[in-house]
Amino acid sequence: MSGPFFQLDLKDGVRVLRLESSDRTNLLSRAGVMALQAVFHDLQSEGQPLVLTGNEKFFSAGADLGEVTALNASRAYEFSKMGQELMRTLDEFPAPVYAAISGYCMGGGLDLVLACHRRIAAPNAVFGHRGAALGLITGWGGTQRLPRLVGKGVALQMFVASEKVSAKAALAMGLVDAIADDPVAEAVRAIHALAMDEPSVACRRDSGIP
């Protein structure tokens, strides 16, 4: 299955959804958010684990700021709600969702991986919420999920100072669960390990994912 914003494949029997855009930065435009919401909704019925990834240089550069700045107040609110619904769909997905992150994971892209249940980063992964440098703050749930994961102080520093965080620093602060040269392969390995330990565990979201 594929669409203009993603490619859905199988890797060793595990669903892998790869974000795709023509410029390779995987911006989360309004149309892209709608397309992802639709495919995640369809995949929910399968009850199977999912790996979400991008390309070698970009997981996602975040929301399309050119599009965002052109929105009026009511449409901006609508776009914010759409993003929140997308993140909630991932958060409540009935099976484990792993984010396999290479390259830049910024803004709304970071919100997307925060909504996943586990995060595995490549050594070249870079994380950040850069909105404050542009007078913006995320409206997609990152202000709630990031502090729960790394603590209020660290999250506030990331939001206010707009600092970029390396994969090594992200692991130290608890933003990611592991670093691997091939994060997709590592995510697939972890999912298979779950299934071997207990056949039903890979279909449960809160089952002690390694």
CATH of the domain at 22: 3.90.226.10
Residue 209 belongs to some domain of the structure: no
Q: Which residues pair with 35 in a beta bridge?
A: none
Intervals of the chain under pLDDT 50: 199-210
Instruction: Express each pLDDT in 10-61 by its tens digit.
Output: 999 999 999 999 899 999 998 999 999 999 999 999 989 999 999 999 999 9
Token pair recorded at residue 192: 């298979």
**What does the pLDDT read at residue 197?**
74
**What does the pLDDT read at residue 2?**
63
Domain that holds residue 29: 2-203
**What does the pLDDT read at residue 194?**
84
**What does the pLDDT read at residue 209?**
39
Residue 127 belongs to some domain of the structure: yes
For the chain, what is the domain count?
Answer: 1
Whole-number Å distance between alpha carbons of 95 and 199: 12
Residue 182 belongs to some domain of the structure: yes
Residue 15 belongs to some domain of the structure: yes
**What does the pLDDT read at residue 109?**
95
Residue 68 belongs to some domain of the structure: yes
Residue 208 belongs to some domain of the structure: no
Residue 26 belongs to some domain of the structure: yes
> Do 74 and 68 touch, CB atoms closer than 8 A?
no
Residue 138 belongs to some domain of the structure: yes
**What does the pLDDT read at residue 210?**
42
Angle of CA points 48, 49, 51, to nearest 5°? 140
Whole-number Å distance between alpha carbons of 100 and 79: 25
Q: Which of 109, 58, 102, 66 is nearest to 87 (CA)?
A: 109
Whole-number Å distance between alpha carbons of 42 and 156: 35
**What does the pLDDT read at residue 136?**
67
Whole-number Å distance between alpha carbons of 144 and 112: 13
> Do 140 and 80 touch, CB atoms closer than 8 A?
yes
